[in-house]
Amino acid sequence: MIRCFISHTWREGEHHFAMRLASALKKRQIKVWIDEEKISPGSFIMAAIQRAIKHEVDIFIFIMSPASLRSRWCRIELKLALSQEEYCIPIIPVLIKPSAIPRSLKNIKYADFTKPSCFDSAMDYLIAEVH
């Protein structure tokens, strides 16, 4: 079973999108690591994130928006995923709001979720990339 990490911000209602994406991935038999479900009270947040990115997932999904690109946590998570050279973890950017693409992701094709009415077709595209 494919396992993916979803990096997102809780700002500007984006957590709702992340949970919708997680639910859609699970329905397609993909195991999801998302903070709300995997980090319990009392856990060391950074340790849990590092462990997940290094050892518990096969794919890193970065929900990309102006808010996530400003988020300290999202930048840390992306940096961790980019530094996983020995594991070669694939990174799939998921664009949900028009954004300036960071240099580190410019050469990576993203899944376009900017049109809410096209969620299902964007999901089909994302799933094709995941499998």
**Digits of tens for pLDDT over the chain (131 positions)?**
899 999 999 887 899 999 999 999 999 999 999 988 888 888 898 899 999 998 899 999 999 999 999 999 999 999 989 886 655 788 999 999 999 888 888 888 899 999 888 888 888 888 887 76
pLDDT for the residue 128? 80
Its pTM surpasses 0.85 = yes
Bridging pattern class, strands 91-95 and 111-112: parallel
Q: Measuring CA to CA, how many Å separate 36 from each of 5, 9, 15, 23, 114?
A: 12, 11, 9, 13, 23
Neighbours of 45 (CB within 10 A): 10
Domain extent listing, the chain: 3-130
| 3-130 classified as CATH 3.40.190.80 | no
